[in-house]
Amino acid sequence: MAVSSDAEPLFVAFKKFSVYGDTKASGRELTGKAWAKLCKDCRVIDGKSVTGTDVDIVFSKVKQRSARVITYKEFQQALDELAPKRFKGQSKEAALQSIHKLVEGQEPTNVGVTKVAKTATVDRLTDASRYTGSHKERFDGSGRGKGREGRQDLVEHTGYVNAYKDAGTYDSKVKDSDK
């Protein structure tokens, strides 16, 4: 796919949005969801002249009839469709340049991703030194989890019952009594 040097940053943005959130994506096709995210993250959707509905309509116009994705060429056509609508006071060429500037070099953002809460309550609840009963057995002295050893009773083939305090002292007791 031959891409001119001035459209290169545009293609890079297209590729980044096309693979975002989809492990099976090849980077050559953009889904409707990814197209909407691109328009939202790059501020093509302004809520006044261009809305989410407009973006979806343009996507439906440029894609093939039975297709669910658009190619890079169709992506450029979609930007051509949206440019005059987004930048009403400008000529078609100037509007196209302006919309390219919005999209070029952009990456998908992670808005709304849950952050780790650091409060006194969370610290108190996750402090392993305060655990009691069977929960206490799952952690070592430093508070690190023991993994499988802390969750399951592992059988020790020593001949003694689990948790017997004087395990391994039989020989010394028998030898002491024989003298």
Residues 85 and 141 in one domain: no
In this predicted structure, the answer to whether residue 1 has a pLDDT above a threshold of 50 is: no
pLDDT at 14: 92
In this predicted structure, the answer to whether residue 146 has a pLDDT above a threshold of 50 is: yes
Question: Higher pLDDT residue, 39 or 113?
Answer: 39
For the whole prediction, is pTM greater than 0.85? no
Residues 121 and 93 in one domain: no
| Total domains in the fold of the chain | 2
Residues 39 and 121 in one domain: no
Q: List the CATH number of the domain containing 22.
A: 1.10.238.10
**Cα(60)–Cα(69) distance, rounded to whole angstroms?**
9
Note the pLDDT tens digit of each residue in 8-59.
889 999 999 999 888 888 889 999 999 999 999 999 999 899 999 999 999 9
If you search the block for the tokens 């006044």, which residue do you land on?
A: 48
* E strands present in the chain: 30-31, 69-70
Question: Higher pLDDT residue, 111 or 110?
Answer: 110
Residue at 145 is within a domain: yes
Residues 87 and 126 in one domain: no
Residues 39 and 119 in one domain: no
Residues 12 and 94 in one domain: yes
Residue at 168 is within a domain: no
pLDDT at 3: 45
User: CB atoms < 10 A from the CB of 54, how many?
Assistant: 17
Residues 74 and 29 in one domain: yes
Residues 68 and 129 in one domain: no
What residues make up the domain containing 40?
5-103
Residue at 176 is within a domain: no
Residues 128 and 49 in one domain: no
Residues 12 and 75 in one domain: yes
Average pLDDT on 136-162 reads 75
In this predicted structure, the answer to whether residue 89 has a pLDDT above a threshold of 60 is: yes
Least confident of 13-17, 20-24, 103-107, 155-159: 155-159
Residues 33 and 118 in one domain: no
Chain centre distance of CA 12? 20
User: CB atoms < 10 A from the CB of 122, how many?
Assistant: 11
pLDDT at 2: 46
**Cα(172)–Cα(157) distance, rounded to whole angstroms?**
19
Average pLDDT on 118-144 reads 77
**Cα(32)–Cα(175) distance, rounded to whole angstroms?**
81
